[in-house]
Each structure stands twice: as structure tokens, then as C-alpha cells.
Homo-oligomer: A and B are copies of this chain.
Amino acid sequence: MTSANKSTRIGSSEFDFLAQLERRALNRNATAQGLSSLVKGIGDDAAVIRQNDKTDLVVSADLLVERIDFLLDWTTPEKLGHKALAVSLSDIAAMGATPRFAMVSLGIASNLWEEGFADAFYEGWFELADPLGITLIGGDVSRTPNQLVIDSIAFGDVPTGHAVLRRGAQPGDLIFVTGSLGGAAAGLKLLQTNPKLAETAVSHDAALIHRQLTPEPRTAWGQFLGRERLASAMIDLSDGLSSDLHHLCEASDVGAVIDAELIPTDPALSAIESDRMAKLDLALNGGEDFELLFTVAPENERKLPREMEGIPLTKIGQIGGSISGIELEFAGQRTPLEPDGFEHFGTADG
């Protein structure tokens, strides 16, 4: 599915299921009419539909479920509206596309409805959407017996043929990441330890919780990389660096080496956590940073700006020619890096 990258959060059996569904969808429809206008279906951050000789349309859906993906205790309707849109815009950015339209399907229990939850939710949603020129074009609203569910669907434009897929990384390509890592997972840990921090946290704690509750999609970076065709492959960091780099490498059929010293940990995380391994663990295996991870041919490195809208870029490694799998260079040694991914709350898988 478009969000196969998220599947590890619900266990590896779902990932197998999605891979199987991808094969099935392709096999079954090999002879379908008009297949030509589908550029990429299941198996990337978003699907790509050919629109005309100038633009392709990319589209992604993300389902957020109460008590699996969020707790109402430590967020607000406005923040949830922001996050629901942000996670889908992150997928659009990871395709190198410019967000244009969005839909929301909202399943909501009566008590929340009566409290005016939906109005507040859309306040937060529009606050993120409006400056980006994103138009709400549809969706659905339904009651639920007792649970909040949100399906967030975003559409983006990309110049025809420019969509950046997960496949496409070549041996020798350099690996880059936007912004900083580990902050969202650290924010989640803080909230799990003390839910009241959602309201009372200050300084670095507040910054980390902010990263967890109101992630900022890397729209400008994604748009730039798609337009300029500088990224050979790209994915957004929703599960965590170790997992998402695996997804990218598997799709591209390559291996990679990344350097632990170079991984940009969240500055607020560095301020509250002095243990180097703990920080590295959060940066590698924590999820929901919604930064972009992408690869660039060495000759294109000089064309990359150092930062965009205040978000810097960091080179963390290289796609390997001969190795399979991913290796982490740490303290002079290389060790295999397994996908660890991000376990949301653990309510589903126990």
C-alpha cells in the first residue's frame, strides 16, 4: 500500500500481506484497460497517476486510529488535525511532489461530536493546509460507537516522470537526511512517562513533545528534489531510519553503509539525554520524525542547497556496491543494522 513503510508499526505479518497484495494487484490487472496511465501503484509512499505531458498526480492515504496512533489524553483536536494532514503531506513530499488537494474521512463518536471536536480538528487541519494552498476536496464523516479514526488522503502534483520512488538508488549514491532525528520518539516517551507533560512541558521537553504531536512535513525539500531531479530514491521517515532505509534499499535492490557519527540527532534530545547510545537508538529506531531520507548521485551533491526554509541537510552514508543489507559504522567498526522500526504504544501487538 502507499504506506507500506508504516507497516512495521503493526508487525511484520502486515508487511508481508502488503507485499503480497502488491503482487496480486499487479498480476490481476496486467491486462486491464488503460493501465498505461498508472505510473506506480502499491509499494511506494504514494501512487502515481499520469495526468498529462506536464504533470503526474500522486496520492497517498494514512489511517490514524485512536489508542493505536494517538491518545486523546495528550493531544488536542487541533493538533490531531495538523498531524493527520502532516503525515500524508510527508508522503507527498517523499515523492518529490507539491501538495494540492486533500480529503479526510472522519469516524467520530457521538460524545466527541457534541463537544465540537470536528470543528477544532479542522481548525488545526486548515492552519497547516492554507499556507500551502491545499484545497479540501472531499472525504466522509461517520459516527463510530466509541473510537476516533481518521483517514487522511493527500494529492500532489509532480512534473511528468519526476516522481521520486523508493527504487532508483544506485551503488555509490550518497545518502542524505533532512532535519534531525529521534525527537518525535523522545517526545512520545516523555508523554508515556507523564501524560500531563502534554500541557506542562517547557523548554526541551516541550520541543520534543511538539515533534511528536505536530510534525512538520518537509514540503519545500520534497518539491525541490522532485523538480530538480536530484534524488535518485526517496522515502519519508515514519517508522524510523533503520526500517525506512531498509525499505528504500530493498526497493532499489542495493545495500548501504551509514555512519553513526553523522546521524543528526534532535538538538532538544541532546539537551536532555547525555547517554550517547540512547540517543543513537532513538535516532535509528524511533519513528515519526517525518524527515526525508534520499539518495543523490555523487556528481549532483554540489547542486544541493545546505538548507531550505531553515531545515538543514546531512549526509549520513553511501549506497554500497557490493554489500547486501545495511551496515552501521560506529567507533571504527561496521556492524549489520537490522530494521527495528517503531512500535506505537504496543496496544495492538501486546
Contacts and interface: CB of A to CB of B under 8 A. Distances in A.
Interface of A: 1-3, 6-7, 10-11, 13-14, 17-18, 21, 24-25, 28-29, 32-35, 37-38, 41-42, 46-47, 49, 51-53, 57, 59-69, 100-101, 103-107, 110, 113, 118-119, 122, 126, 130, 133-147, 149, 151, 153, 155, 157, 347-349
B349 A143 contact: yes
Nearest to A106: B63
Chain A residues touching B, majority SS: mixed
B2 A41 contact: no
Contact of A139 (B53, B61, B149): B61
B59 A103 contact: yes
Nearest to A141: B14
A187 to B, nearest CB: 20
Contacts of A57: 49, 51, 57
A51 B38 CA distance: 13
A42 B107 contact: no
A69 to B, nearest CB: 7
A340 to B, nearest CB: 18
Nearest to A34: B100
A5 to B, nearest CB: 10
How many copies of this chain does the complex contain? 2
19 contacts: A1-B103, A10-B142, A11-B143, A13-B113, A14-B141, A17-B118, A33-B133, A35-B135, A37-B100, A38-B137, A47-B138, A49-B101, A52-B52, A61-B151, A62-B105, A67-B145, A105-B151, A149-B149, A151-B151
Contact of A62 (B59, B67, B140, B143): B140
A105 B62 CA distance: 7
Contact of A6 (B18, B69, B140, B151): B140
Contacts of A10: 141-143
Contacts of A49: 57, 101, 137, 155
Contacts of A143: 10-11, 65, 68, 347-349
A134 to B, nearest CB: 8
A107 B140 contact: no
A344 to B, nearest CB: 9
Output the residue of A11, A14, A140 with the most chain B CB within 10 A. A140
B14 A126 contact: no
A299 B203 CA distance: 72
B1 A141 contact: yes
A247 to B, nearest CB: 15
A39 B236 CA distance: 31
Contacts of A349: 110, 143
Output the residue of A60, A62, A141 with the most chain B CB within 10 A. A141
A48 to B, nearest CB: 9
Nearest to A20: B119
Contacts of A13: 113
Given A17-B118, A149-B149, A153-B153, A68 B144 contact: yes
A271 B14 CA distance: 46
A248 to B, nearest CB: 18
